[in-house]
Every structure is written in C-alpha cells, then in structure tokens.
Structure 1
C-alpha cells in the first residue's frame, strides 16, 4: 500500500496542543508526531504504545542562565513541560543544553512517571537531578523499551565520534520501532559511511535529520555543526527513507539554515523524495 501522510497547520496554545495530543487516535501501521522546535519531537502510538519524547527543550533556560548568550529563542516554547503528565519515555541524544535541558527534564520528572533514556556518560550528572527516577543508561546497540517503543541507540558524530573512558558514546541517534513504523532520529551528527550503513540496514520509514550545517565562523565560536541541507537529502536517498523531516534549523537565529535551500535541492535532485517542513507545535500523522 502506498504510504501517505496527513498534516495539520497550527497556531495553538499549550492547552490546545496537549488537548490535541490526548485526543489524537493512532491506528495500525501509523505514528503521530509533533514538532517541539529545534530537535524536539513528541511521538504518539496506539494507546498501548504510549507517548515518547526526544530532546525536549521547553524552557528558556539557556538565555536565563546566561543573558549574554548568542543562543536566544526565536519563538517561545510550544508546550509547558508541566503538561506532559502522560509521557512514558524521554530520550536524550547528547549533553548540549538545547537537547539535554535539565529544567525541562526535571519538570517532566516531577509531573509524570516517565522513564528517561540518557547516554551512559551523562547518567551520573542527570541522576543527581532526578533522584529516585527511572533512568536508563543507553549505549550503542543495546535495545531499550519504553512502553510500546523499541529503541536502538546508534552512535552520532558531532562532528566526531566521541567516547568516554569506558568506551560509551557521548552522542547518539535512535532507531525506533513502534506500531509497524520504523523511525530514525539522528540527534546532532554529520554524515559518515558507518552511519549510512547502519541506518540503511534499518530501512526507516521516517527520518528526522538536522540541516543547519557547519562553517568556519560558527565553529570558531564553539558552535558545533551538523549535516547541511544537501547532505541530509543525500543521506535520506542513500538509506532509502520514505519521509524526510528536517530538524535543527528553526530555533536559534545564529545557528540556522534557510530551509528553502533544502527544498530547492530536493526539487532538483530528488523530486520524488517525500518530505515535510514542520511548524513548531504542528502535528503530522504518518501511515502506511
């Protein structure tokens, strides 16, 4: 059967957004997801699958801690983390503040019974903040389950593969299987031949890939880059993904990529590649 998608443009409050999440019904061979901005994605499967979130940055903690920072939000959080009482799992890809936001994580831990999947090298620092909470130490290739979500971590190169003294990767992406759908969320990474091989073998239906790229001037200011829009498109084609959803280009004006370049490159090089540009807070229902 041909795979299709349904999207819904939004301009809603936190209350309206969480109401939409709760009222959305997911059926066989489907997944519903919402953009939280930056790399944050909220997934909903069937009732027995539950709710899973990746890299939620739902505060303004970066600029509140350091008012002089370059990293100032272009738009407010789409959702109050205190509204995520129903969350079953949170996955964090790495320790940068826009991916591991302890203010968001602590609030989710306060209001929910969520599990927290944290890269092994970061577990001690997170454990200090989330005492007596269910923290999973996630490692390359070791499958974890968060309710109905089967999660396999894969290494990410941001912009190199980095390990701690125990050999555990600091940067991860996630291969996720739920309700007949295969999802790849890359976290922050560049393209490597090893990554292409692993993701291609997984045969993802949907891939969430960064497109903000990297350059000399950002790197010289300590801004670590990712694949750019062309590389994301080429990567999607190389691994055979059905639907490509770009991420990590919208929240911080000093670390953006014009998504028009992404669309233009797809139009000329891969005119049959399905993709969707998400508005922060938008719902997308993917089914096959």
Structure 2
C-alpha cells in the first residue's frame, strides 16, 4: 500500500496549507480517518483517527492487521482543534490515539452520547460533546450535525441515543458528509439529500456471509456508495474504509468501473494514505 506523505513531512504540509474562497482541504489517514481544514481561523478537525496498531497489539491473534503503518504519530497533532468519533469500534474509536491527542493538544471531542461516560474515564477534564441525532454543535469554525448511521441497523441505548453516527459538517462555505460505518437506508437518503453535500466520504467495503459469520459488521458496498451519492446529489465522492485491513476490503477498481458504467459524470477521487485534496466549490 502506497503512502503519499507521512510524519513530519505530512504535518508540515497541513500547517502550510491555506484555504481561500469557498474551499476545504482534507487528508486521508487510512480506513475512515480524515483530517479537515478550512480557513486558518476555522481550525483543524479530525474524524475517526486510528493512528496506532493497538488492535493487533492488544490481540496478536486478530485478523485485523494493518496493511500499512500509521501516517502520523498521534503526538504530532498538537494543533488539532477537534476530534469526531462516529462509533465505538476500535478502528474508529481508538483510545490509544485519542488519549495521546488529548495529552498533546487542546482538542475538543465529539463522541456519540452512549460512549461519553466510557471516554471520559480515559480523557479526564477534557471538553467532550455528547453527540446526539440532530443536535448541532461547533468546534471552532466547524458546524457539526450528527445524524444516525445503520451499522447494519439503527441501534439506540436505553436513553434513546444512537450508537452509530455520521456527521454533516459545514466549514468555509463547504458542506461535507462523513458517513462513519453505515448501510444505505431510505431515512439516510432523505436526511443527506436535504443537506446537499458538496463532498461525501462513504465506505465501500460492503459485507458478505463469511465476514458476517466472523463478526465483521458490514457497510454499503461500492455500488451502493455510487448509487447513494447519485441519489443525494453529492458533487465529489471520496471512498473510505477499504484500504487498511486486507480481511475486510473491496477492490476499489469495482467502484471505479461501476461509476464509469452508470455515472460517468460523477466526480470522485480515490485517495492514498497521507494524500491531500483541496476541494474548491
């Protein structure tokens, strides 16, 4: 797996990237990890960072082994203003990563409400937003609206709060949807279509009987992601959640071929870990 940039070289690029007009810069961290930057005053936001090897270190027998090393050490994210977590699976809520981010930065954390008590035990005295369906909050220049995700069904805790979330994000005139882990549902299409996202980060690893039988919970596949993007009117589609774990992949070439056959005018970009993309409206 190619890594475009990593370490201090990557962080230098992040610091030196400036946003002008209606634009947003983003970097792929691998799996579902995305780093977002608008104008300088908007700050720096990270979604679902898995920047360690904690899964395989805690369980050497696991089939979830990284195909490439982390593009950043979490301690390099001193300038981070916010972290959003979509749900509690270890490749999205990596305590080793967020504890180190909390140690080195003044970052605020957006955590699904059912997980807040658990996370607070590890991030003592840190500013944690209890993310709930439809309840808007801000982290510096980022306006964030949590919405439910179905992984692979909608699940709530005893208080009625969703365990799995996606995020609708507005910054510097750009509307972004990060789905987290989810399948497609009519409700999701309705909510995201109303948001009119310029950019959408969608999983394409899909699901099948044998992965499900081993406890691997699925997502939309490459066809569903393309169809969903067309249904909600996404301008730029960026696939995620297909690169890090060889046991839970779908060939991105299938995604590209399906777009070519069915949506030849759909803008998309396949990112390699550590790559920057600057989106202009």
TM-score in same-fold range (> 0.5): yes
Structure 1 position 47, deviation (Å):
1.2
SS in 2 for 1:266: helix
SS in 2 for 1:140: coil
Could you give the per-residue CA deviations for residues 48-100 of structure 1, whole angstroms, max 9, x where no partner exists? 10000000000000000000000000000001110000000000000000000
Structure 1 position 120, deviation (Å):
0.2
**Does the alignment pair 1:22 with 2:20?**
no
Rounded to whole Å, the distance in 2 between the matches of 1:100 and 1:270 is 34
Rounded to whole Å, the distance in 2 between the matches of 1:234 and 1:48 is 35
Structure 1 position 12, deviation (Å):
2.7
**Does the alignment pair 1:180 with 2:173?**
yes
Rounded to whole Å, the distance in 1 between the matches of 2:242 and 2:5 is 21
Could you give the per-residue CA deviations for residues 196-248 of structure 1, whole angstroms, max 9, x where no partner exists? 00000000000000000000000000000000000000000000000000000
SS in 2 for 1:265: helix
Structure 1 position 11, deviation (Å):
3.1
SS in 2 for 1:48: helix
Structure 1 position 28, deviation (Å):
1.6
Equivalent of residue 283 in structure 1, options 251, 265, 276:
276
List gaps (5 residues or longer) in structure 1.
Answer: 1-8
Rounded to whole Å, the distance in 1 between the matches of 2:21 and 2:61 is 48
Rounded to whole Å, the distance in 1 between the matches of 2:235 and 2:128 is 32
**Does the alignment pair 1:269 with 2:273?**
no
**Does the alignment pair 1:219 with 2:219?**
no
Displaced runs of 4 or more, over 6 A: none
Task: Determine if contact 2:26/2:37 at 8 Å carries over to the other structure.
Answer: yes
Number of equivalences? 280
Equivalent of residue 200 in structure 1, options 193, 207, 222:
193
Rounded to whole Å, the distance in 1 between the matches of 2:34 and 2:163 is 20
**Does the alignment pair 1:127 with 2:103?**
no
Counterpart position of 2:144: 151
Rounded to whole Å, the distance in 2 between the matches of 1:182 and 1:287 is 11
Counterpart position of 1:39: 32
SS in 2 for 1:96: coil
Rounded to whole Å, the distance in 1 between the matches of 2:171 and 2:246 is 34
Counterpart position of 2:239: 246
Q: 1:66 to 1:103 in 2, by over 3 A?
A: same
Counterpart position of 2:203: 210
Structure 1 position 134, deviation (Å):
0.5
RMSD: 0.8
Q: TM-score, normalised by structure 1?
A: 0.96
Q: What are the within-5 Å matches in structure 2 for residues 48-59 of structure 1?
A: 48-59=41-52
Rounded to whole Å, the distance in 1 between the matches of 2:276 and 2:205 is 22
Structure 1 position 182, deviation (Å):
0.2
